[in-house]
Structure 1
């Protein structure tokens, strides 16, 4: 006799999903995937306009007023799912990466990230929602890199906050997990490639080609690879999963 499977749905109908950093390649793909699965999607970025299936608001999360306005908005929309994705990248070794760069990267990648996480968590707890918080880390958060000191440190902080928040929110049935992408072919890679060309003396396009070829699977990832992992973490498919960081990196980092 064939056994009955207790298959959890990936359908997101009825869920309110919030995506930060929505104008970038990964954020935009997450918005599209959440909406396609029936969610009501709210999205934010610093850009004035957004082309996608979402209710959009622009906030500058490096500005105190922007953070305050965004957290007030979160209290209004009451998200069931947060895709905490907004971040910036820059380069410089410990001899070159100054405190201005530190303040900018930690200001968005950690301080604003935490403010959004906290506001979403407070809303979920206050409204009795069994929510899911999905933080965007990076393979850079698992190891230092000579030219990416501040960025690596910010993403290590994301992984640590994910674990702490998951333990704190577990009694409230709010799950907190992270995704660590590897090299993903987004528009941001044009800027990243130019920085490597500057610091390593490479030709434009050389670094992007090299990192793709170095991935065990042989190529860079696509934003949709990350978005599909976000769908899994947003849905009931991952209902017994919290405090974890999923690597979407083609085998770059062995955990």
Structure 2
């Protein structure tokens, strides 16, 4: 049975959805009637399986696909979109949640430190927008693309309150870039009936944040 034959509202890809914000988005979209493709790294396979189990148990008619790919690698993102479209027959929504931080100060950060943040946060979003748009245009039915900026993408920060050893400049730069990427992509894809938006969440008390706070408190 394809998604067009079921009572599915559509098909959604949610990147970085094994935990945190992405997990919540995946569960919410499933609850709203979407079949979902959960994406995260291979290292988060166990968490991805738990999210799938939770969705299947709570929303019996929903279908869930796990695709373990690295969003900072272009071919992986292309494969993510192709695998989802092949499995479900279409793609209607893509939620791009890419965020990594650099845990060092600006004055001692290396080019690799800075590039590692931009590679995931900016390139990962760019690849997701690109291949989602290609698929949606080919379908000719429009679509919804959603990126993740941040309050740090609206106003620069000098440090993080709980984790002052992080390098906010790289994270802020990446989130400001996502706003520009989103706005320009929205203009470009509007003619195809594809909306492109970004949201700007504040601090989320995720497992990763708790771990960073613990490391700081014990002097790591």
| Residue 74 of structure 1, CA deviation | 5.0
**Aligned position for 1:3:** none
After TM superposition, list the pairs within 5 Å mapping 1:76-87 onto structure 2: 76=86, 77=88, 78-87=90-99
Q: Is the 8 A contact 1:88 1:105 kept in 2?
A: yes
**Aligned position for 1:28:** 23
Whole-Å Cα distance in 2 between the matches of residues 194 and 100 of structure 1?
A: 25
1:168 matched to 2:165? The reply is no
Q: Is the 8 A contact 1:24 1:188 kept in 2?
A: no
Once superposed, what is the RMSD of the aligned Cα atoms? Answer: 2.0
User: Relative to 1, partners in 2 of residues 1:65 and 1:13: Cα closer, same or farther, differing over 3 Å?
Assistant: closer
Number of aligned residue pairs: 187
1:90 matched to 2:106? The reply is no
Whole-Å Cα distance in 2 between the matches of residues 84 and 169 of structure 1?
A: 16
SS class of match (1:183) = coil
Deviating above 3 A after TM superposition, structure 1's stretches of 4 or more consecutive aligned residues are 62-65, 74-78
Whole-Å Cα distance in 1 between the matches of residues 197 and 74 of structure 2?
A: 26
1:40 matched to 2:50? The reply is no
Could you tell me which of 56, 60, 76 is aligned with 2:66?
56
**Aligned position for 2:156:** 144
Could you tell me which of 7, 10, 20 is aligned with 1:15?
10
Q: Which has the higher contact order (CA 8 A, sep 6+)?
A: 1
Q: TM-score, normalised by structure 2?
A: 0.77
SS class of match (1:86) = coil
When structure 1 is superposed on structure 2, of 170-179 and 84-93 the one drifting more is: 84-93
SS class of match (1:40) = strand
User: Relative to 1, partners in 2 of residues 1:183 and 1:167: Cα closer, same or farther, differing over 3 Å?
Assistant: same
**Aligned position for 1:72:** 82
| Residue 132 of structure 1, CA deviation | 0.8
Structure 2: stretches of 5+ with no match in the other structure: 1-6, 56-63, 159-166
After TM superposition, list the pairs within 5 Å mapping 1:124-135 onto structure 2: 124-135=136-147
| Residue 168 of structure 1, CA deviation | 0.4
Whole-Å Cα distance in 2 between the matches of residues 71 and 16 of structure 1?
A: 11
Q: TM-score, normalised by structure 1?
A: 0.67
